[in-house]
Chain A
Amino acid sequence: MTPRRRRMLFVGLILLAVSSAAAFLLTALNGNVQYNIVPSDVFAGKAPKDRTFRLGGMVEQGSVKREPGSLQIQFDITDYAHEVTVRYSGVLPDLFREGQGVVVRGKLVKATNDMKDGQRLMIAEEVLAKHDENYMPPNVAESLKKTHDTRRMQETAVTSQPPVNN
């Protein structure tokens, strides 16, 4: 093979690789990017309607409810402006507890009859808590800053300290 043809082959291969990669990429990214949503976004109508997304926030103090002996659990996720009620069935991560930052992957559904008016309900497929006691999802921290509530600002200052350790 002459160097010229080889170069053509080389360029052709790279073009092929790049274009096919780009094509796959766009489709893959489209389907798999997950928007990190906070409860305020849900109330502002910015949450996806019929597909799963990730909802981040803090587990509201005193909101965790469980029938003794059952895997079913219900809790509220808050960004201190709004709350979304979450139902989940399964094993919870080690660091899940009230007041802890968590990320929940799931879908919004119609509120059930026993819930208050205007309350939103999510059925979760997965609950993630970070392996770090002080973790707060970044956009929750941001949304907290926006509320300009001094008491909460102080709370943020305490909870969003960088972890001392990896």
Chain B
Amino acid sequence: MSVELGHFALILAFSLALVQAFFGLAGSYRKLDNWMAASCSAVAGQLVFTLFAFACLTAAFLRNDFSVLYVANNSNTELPMFYRFAAVWGAHEGSLLLWLLILSAWSAAVALFNRTMSPEFTGKVLGVLGLISAGFSLFIITTSNPFERLLPAALQGADLNPLLQDPALAAHPPMLYTGYVGLAVPFACAVAALLEGKLDAAWARWVRPWATMSWLFLTLGISLGSFWAYYELGWGGWWFWDPVENASFMPWLMCTALIHSLAVTEKRGLFKSWTVLLAIFGFSLSLLGTFLVRSGVLVSVHAFASDPSRGLFILIFLTLCIGGALTLYGWRAERLKSGAGFAVVSRESFLLFNNVLLVVAAGLILLGTLYPLFVDALNLGKISVGPPYFSVVFLIPMLPLVLLLAVGMHAGWKQARFTSIRQPLVITLIVAMLFAAAMTVLIFNRFSLLCFVGLLAGGWVLLSSLIEPFQRLRAGHSLSRGIVAMSLAHFGVGVFMLGVTTVSTYTIEKDVSLNKGQSTEIAGYQFTLTKTEPVSGPNYEAVEGTVRVTRDGQEVAVLHPQKRIYRVRTSPMTEAGIDAHWQRDLFVALGDELGNGVWSLRVQYKPLVRFIWLGTVIMALGGIVGVTDRRYRARAAVQQDQAQPVPARS
């Protein structure tokens, strides 16, 4: 019964989304306060009904209701309770429902925190969000209904994909989707600004926290996904340039560009139409990502259920969204004139470089991701663009970006003079150089130019981000949240760079075959396979190896890699044994039994690999500090006297 109620609630949510869209947009044009208020109520209703639908689906999972097709396909009575809960978004239909739930939560947040903006503007924003919401709920109802019945009911479910049976499933998709869908808010604001033909500092100040929020969720979501892949699927890899990864990474790049461009728009009233364009592209790319992932046009390790009708629906939706927004942009962008000018050497131009480079990076990744599709469509053969392409083309815009960042974050607005900062910048550069040289030559004993440059850039950004807080504190000034946020985020970039550079240059990997008692050695560590024994988990059987790691005769760790066979799907899974340490990970994965009790093993030494995720967490921390800045909570009355752009001179 509750399943039908859930379905019904979903249809109600769809109707309310239409109500929200109509009253929001029409109300703001006709300036009818009660219509706009109706739009807000529709948002609340939509959230309640989507939440209810979601709860119904969750209940079906917890009860093992195999008369629901989606549950029968993705659950099993043996599945532990925790995974039954997370399995709700373990596959296509449920994850789209999560998408919708998150969108309605964001819409509700917009309806709640709109005090500083005019009701007309809020009405338009809610109207646009309502349209997106209506489109998505229609998509779920017509092509991917999670409440579809399976009659007669299955006696037992097909189980959740073993690959997904990991605690990270509970956090990674919701986090990533929150970021993905959060980009709908800046998108809606950009469209609303185009409709109003007005974009001022107050607009930018209002949009900034929304963009930063989705950026920080995207950052954490992607990072968590990468970490998950590292210990679960990747045999020690942490990024594969898989289409699905790219689908999340491109919006991240756009969003990063957007939050920087928004800063210029707020402080200086510049880059207005560019900001709007970035907001449109950001959300478009997250829709495109959904399309690529869901339609199955691209083959990826994420092996999603593919269904052409789903793909077609999203493609049409995508065309309407992007096409509509860009048409509106072409028609109205003229009105968003930017006034003031700036010198060649100024924070504005550094941020311009930042934006251009980030967008170029996103474009290159987009090209690599879609290239196989084009080639196939033109009948030129089936190709795949491999990681080598992405690693090369991604570095080209990124290295200059990071080097410019080290200097750019100290540039002043309008015209930058580096008089007070020149000395610390040079000192930090020299220190970073010495550090990079020491790392490559002394510690790892193998010089590589690319690695040297990477370490230099990472080290420089890391140190450079500390200059400003350090100088301020020494002069007895307090630190504003803005500065702490910026310094933290950029410090995180530095940490990330150090991790990526080191791990990609100095990883040592070896496939070996070991019998009990035999050992192998990498990077000075001795790995000995002491035993293999069968163990069993709640819904799987496994062989567990015990690998003793020693260095100079001293025991470092005892690792327990497993080879699991899940009972229902009978697919084997590798659980790596990892010894984590701040400066290196030792990674052991059990391969197959090769006969005569000999096992194949992959052993890896991964220096500084933890810095990758540590860096992203620090970046996200910077985002959190930025979002909680009190400036953004200022009431309408306060904002009047602030940072109005210099009048137009053109």
19 intermolecular pairs with C-beta atoms under 8 Å apart = A2-B341, A13-B352, A13-B356, A17-B356, A25-B367, A29-B368, A34-B384, A68-B596, A70-B594, A71-B512, A90-B511, A92-B600, A95-B572, A131-B301, A131-B571, A133-B569, A163-B303, A166-B91, A166-B304
Q: Restricting to B74-113, which residues have a CB under 8 Å from any CB of A?
A: 74, 90-92, 95
- Other than A13-B352, A36-B381, give 9 A-B pairs with Cβ distance below 8 A: A17-B357, A21-B360, A24-B396, A25-B367, A29-B368, A70-B513, A71-B600, A166-B161, A166-B302
Chain A residue numbers with a CB within 8 Å of B305 are: 162-166
CA–CA, A130 and B161, complex, Å: 13
Write the A14-46 contact mask toward B (1 if CB under 8 angstroms, else 0). Answer: 100110110011001101111110000000000
Within 77-105 of A, Cβ neighbours of B (below 8 Å) are at: 89-92, 94-95
Contact of A130 among B303, B342, B353, B596 (CB under 8 A): B303
- Residue of B158, B303, B383 touching A166 (CB-CB under 8 A): B303
Tell me how far the C-beta of B161 lies from the nearest C-beta in chain A, rounded to whole angstroms: 5
A21 to B364 alpha-carbon distance, docked (Å): 8
Contact stretch, chosen from B201-209, B386-394, B620-628: B386-394
Does A158 touch B at the CB level, under 8 Å? Answer: no
What sequence of 0s and 1s flags, for each residue 382-417 of chain B, a beta carbon within 8 Å of any chain A beta carbon?
A: 111110110011001100000000000000000000
**Within the assembled complex, what's the spacing in Å between the Cα atoms of A7 and B516?**
71
* A-chain residues with CB within 8 Å of residue B41 when the two chains form the complex: none
A54 at interface by CB-CB < 8 Å: yes
> What residues of chain A lie closer than 8 Å to B307, measured between beta carbons?
162
A54 vs B396: C-alpha distance when bound (angstroms): 26
B155 at interface by CB-CB < 8 Å: no
> Which A residues touch B419, using CB under 8 A?
none
* Secondary structure of the B contact surface, majority rule: mixed
Inter-chain contact A91/B602, CB cutoff 8 Å = yes
A17 / chain B contacts, CB cutoff of 8 Å: 356-357, 360
Of B91, B303, B389, B591, which one neighbours A28 at CB under 8 angstroms? B389
Return A62 CB to nearest CB of chain B, in Å: 17
**B359-386 CB contacts (< 8 Å) to partner A:** 360, 363-364, 367-368, 371, 381-386
Q: How far is the CB of B450 from chain A (nearest CB, A)?
A: 15
Tell me the nearest residue of chain A to B601, going by C-beta: A91
Whether the pair B385, A92 counts as a contact (CB closer than 8 A) is: no
Given the interface pairs A3-B341, A9-B344, A131-B303, the reply to whether A66 lies near B573 with Cβ below 8 Å is no
Interface of chain B residues 22 through 44 with chain A (CB within 8 A): none
Q: Check: A139 CB closer than 8 A to any chain B CB.
A: yes
A1-B342, A1-B343, A165-B74 known; A92+B592 contact, CB < 8 A: yes
Contacts of A133 in B (CB 8 A): 569, 571
A residues sitting closer than 8 Å to B (CB atoms) are 1-3, 6, 9-10, 13-14, 17-18, 20-21, 24-25, 28-29, 31-36, 54, 66, 68-71, 89-92, 94-95, 130-133, 135, 137-139, 162-166
Interface contact B344-A54, CB-CB below 8 Å: no
Q: Please name all residues of chain A whose beta carbon is closer than 8 Å to the beta carbon of B532 when the two chains form the complex.
A: none
| Docked complex Cα distance between A64 and B397 (Å) | 45
A69 near B513 with CB under 8 A, answer yes
Q: Which residues of the other chain, A, contact B343 by a CB distance below 8 angstroms?
A: 1
- Known contacts being A71-B512, A162-B307, is A35 close to B381, with CB within 8 Å? yes
Instruction: Kindly list chain B residues whose C-beta atoms are within 8 Å of the C-beta of A137.
Output: 299
**Separation of A137 and B573 alpha carbons in the complex (Å):** 21
A30 to B602, CA, bound (A): 32
Per the bound structure, the CA–CA distance linking A137 and B574 in Å amounts to 23
Q: Given known contacts A3-B649, A91-B601, A91-B602, is B384 in contact with A36 (CB within 8 Å)?
A: yes
Q: How far is the CB of B412 from chain A (nearest CB, A)?
A: 15
Q: A69-B596, A91-B602 are in contact. Are A34 and B364 (CB under 8 A)?
A: no
Q: Is the CB of A91 within 8 A of B594?
A: no
Assuming the A-B contacts A21-B364, A162-B296, are A66 and B594 also in contact, with contact meaning beta carbons closer than 8 angstroms in the complex? yes
Determine how close the nearest CB of chain B comes to the CB of A10; give it in whole angstroms: 8
Cβ of B233 under 8 Å from chain A? yes
Q: Could you say which residues of chain B place their CB within 8 Å of the CB of A95?
A: 571-572
Residue B48 CB within 8 A of the other chain: no
Complex contact B90–A166 (CB within 8 A): yes
**In the complex, what distance in Å separates the CA atom of A137 from the CA atom of B383?**
12
A6 to chain B, nearest CB (A): 6
- With most chain A CB atoms within 10 A of its CB, the pick from B306, B344, B384 is B384
The verdict on B515 contacting chain A, using a C-beta distance below 8 Å, is: yes
State which of B235, B356, B389, B649 has its C-beta within 8 Å of the C-beta of A91: B235
Nearest B residue to A56, CB-CB: B382
Interface string of B329-346 (1 = CB under 8 A from A): 000000000000111100
| 0/1 interface trace, chain B 583-599, chain A, CB 8 Å (1 if under) | 00000010110111010
Q: Contact check, A14 vs B303: say whether CB atoms are below 8 A apart.
A: no
Q: Using Cβ atoms and an 8 Å threshold, which residues of chain A touch B74? A: 164-165
CA–CA, A3 and B342, complex, Å: 9
Could you tell me the distance in whole angstroms from the C-beta of B420 to the nearest C-beta in chain A? 23
Complex partner residue of B511 from A1, A35, A89, CB under 8 angstroms: A89
Residue numbers in B under 8 Å from A94 (CB-CB): 571-574
User: B511 near A29 (CB under 8 angstroms)?
Assistant: no
Cβ contacts under 8 Å, B90 to chain A: 165-166
* B650 at the binding interface (Cβ < 8 Å): yes
**Chain B residues whose C-beta falls within 8 Å of the C-beta of A6 in the assembled complex:** 341-342
CB-CB nearest in chain B for A66:
B594
Q: How far is the CB of A3 from chain B (nearest CB, A)?
A: 4
Query: Does B467 reach chain A (CB closer than 8 Å)?
Result: no
Does B539 count as interface, using CB distance less than 8 angstroms?
A: no
CB <8 Å contact, A34 and B392: no
- Distance between Cα atoms of A165 and B305 in the complex (Å): 6
A32 CA to B233 CA in the complex, in Å? 24
B636 CB to nearest chain A CB (Å): 32
A131 contact from B158, B233, B595, Cβ within 8 A: B233
A32 touches B389 (CB 8 A): yes
Query: Counting CB contacts under 8 A, is B505 at the interface?
Result: no
B303 touches A69 (CB 8 A): no
Is B73 engaged at the interface, CB distance under 8 Å to the other chain?
Answer: yes
Q: Which residue of B lies closest to A13 (CB)?
A: B356
- Whether the Cβ atoms of A29 and B595 lie closer than 8 Å is no
Chain A's nearest CB lies how many Å from the CB of B541? 14
Q: Please, how many angstroms separate the alpha-carbon atoms of A20 and B360 in the complex? A: 10
Which residue of the partner chain A has the closest CB to B650? A3
Residue of A nearest to B603 (CB): A91
Q: B163 an interface residue at 8 Å Cβ cutoff?
A: yes
